[in-house]
Chain A
């Protein structure tokens, strides 16, 4: 295939040259290397930019103290305990609509529950005549949770899209609940 053309380029008239054998230079390896490097640089230049997840926290001491009460049956609380385990309940802590349930991270764990709960939340909002609203998720990580757990949970929010989600502070009662279930 790749050869350097070394044929006589219009030699002088009258001079008889001995016919040389054509020394072919194989460029295949060089081109292979060139393309390998291209691929490498293309991939590294686009992947170098770090990804990021935008996060908006609620204002700690809002100037506007008036808040609209929300329907607590649409509030899902997720408690993150130790060893990548979590627990969720819907409704008030004292009188939950859906009792605290243990779950794990991932698509077979909390994702299934979340999708189900979001449907229920949507139905509840529609019943109350607020079809644009839905489930509200409050993420409460305990001191035993890792940063990865928090990002995983935020990621679940990005996948399942509840109406709202926020990161809250865990209460002593909820820590007791986690302790009793062996998650703290």
Chain B
């Protein structure tokens, strides 16, 4: 009995320690189910979340986020302060038009993910900010990898940034099609669709 107790608590401590807290998402979506059981790669995946015609972007890695914002800042002529860079680097996912980004960065972390605060990155053909964000994220990821390779870090191989689309099951097809088109405009023909688990008897 004592031994079993010990083992049980050892395992319990192990699982509690290794479990990572779920990051709050600005847009919780209900992904469609599929029988494909491939897992999404662990690191280096930019996730585009689409729900209710709104698009959100999750950029992997704090330094990549910072580099991306530097590029956005240069392209749209918007200057960001050092504090704003730091806040942005600590923010996982976001979904606001560029003119509202400063306002979002001023908010407290808990308030940012409240429903209705973020209303999506514009992705229409006239104001394709989402396309720019993805393009600059890819460039930033490349720069990061280049730096690592130049520094002689072991085990780093150059690969293009993986992109995953996490769409809501009820989202209509034209919206998703538009997102796919944005990716294809920058010759990103391979990407992932995030899905949920389907039961056996499908």
Q: A-side interface residues toward B, CB under 8 Å?
A: 1-2, 27, 30-31, 34-35, 37-38, 41-42, 44-45, 47-60, 80, 106-107, 141-152, 154-155, 158-159, 167
Q: How many A-B residue pairs have CB under 8 A?
A: 144
| A146/B173 in contact, CB under 8 A | yes
| A54/B22 in contact, CB under 8 A | no
From the candidates B164, B174, B197, name the one contacting A143 in the complex (CB within 8 A): B174
Most A C-beta atoms less than 10 A away, residue of B172, B185, B197 = B172
From the candidates B1, B173, B177, B196, name the one contacting A51 in the complex (CB within 8 A): B196
| A147/B192 in contact, CB under 8 A | no
CB distance from B187 to the nearest CB of A (A): 7
* The 4 nearest A-B residue pairs measured at CB: A41-B15, A52-B192, A148-B169, A151-B32
CB distance from B152 to the nearest CB of A (A): 31
| B12/A51 in contact, CB under 8 A | no
From the candidates A34, A48, A54, name the one contacting B38 in the complex (CB within 8 A): A54
Other than A38-B8, A146-B171, A150-B176, give 10 A-B pairs with Cβ distance below 8 A.
Answer: A38-B15, A49-B40, A53-B193, A54-B192, A57-B190, A107-B202, A144-B173, A147-B168, A147-B171, A154-B193
Contacts of B118 in A (CB 8 A): none
A56–B183 CA distance with the chains assembled, in angstroms? 11
Interface assignment of B167: CB less than 8 Å from any CB of chain A: yes
Residues of B in contact, count (CB < 8 Å) = 54
| B197/A51 in contact, CB under 8 A | yes
A35–B15 CA distance with the chains assembled, in angstroms? 12
A106–B193 CA distance with the chains assembled, in angstroms? 20
Most B C-beta atoms less than 10 A away, residue of A54, A80, A149, A154 = A54
Q: Can you give 17 A-B contacts (C-beta < 8 A)?
A: A31-B5, A34-B5, A34-B8, A42-B15, A52-B194, A53-B34, A53-B195, A54-B192, A55-B191, A60-B185, A80-B173, A146-B169, A150-B176, A151-B34, A151-B195, A152-B34, A155-B202
Contacts of A1 in B (CB 8 A): 1
Contacts of B193 in A (CB 8 A): 52-53, 55, 151, 154
Contacts of B31 in A (CB 8 A): 50
Contacts of B196 in A (CB 8 A): 50-51
A27–B42 CA distance with the chains assembled, in angstroms? 40
| B173/A155 in contact, CB under 8 A | no
Contacts of A107 in B (CB 8 A): 202
CB distance from B62 to the nearest CB of A (A): 21
| A54/B32 in contact, CB under 8 A | no
From the candidates B5, B34, B42, B173, name the one contacting A141 in the complex (CB within 8 A): B173
Interface assignment of B36: CB less than 8 Å from any CB of chain A: yes
CB distance from B200 to the nearest CB of A (A): 11
| A27/B1 in contact, CB under 8 A | yes
Residue of B nearest to A157 (CB): B36
| A59/B187 in contact, CB under 8 A | yes
Interface assignment of B125: CB less than 8 Å from any CB of chain A: no
| B189/A59 in contact, CB under 8 A | yes
CB distance from B142 to the nearest CB of A (A): 20
Contacts of A37 in B (CB 8 A): 12, 15-16
| B39/A51 in contact, CB under 8 A | yes
- A35-B8, A41-B19, A53-B193 known; A155 and B34 CB under 8 Å? yes
| B40/A146 in contact, CB under 8 A | no
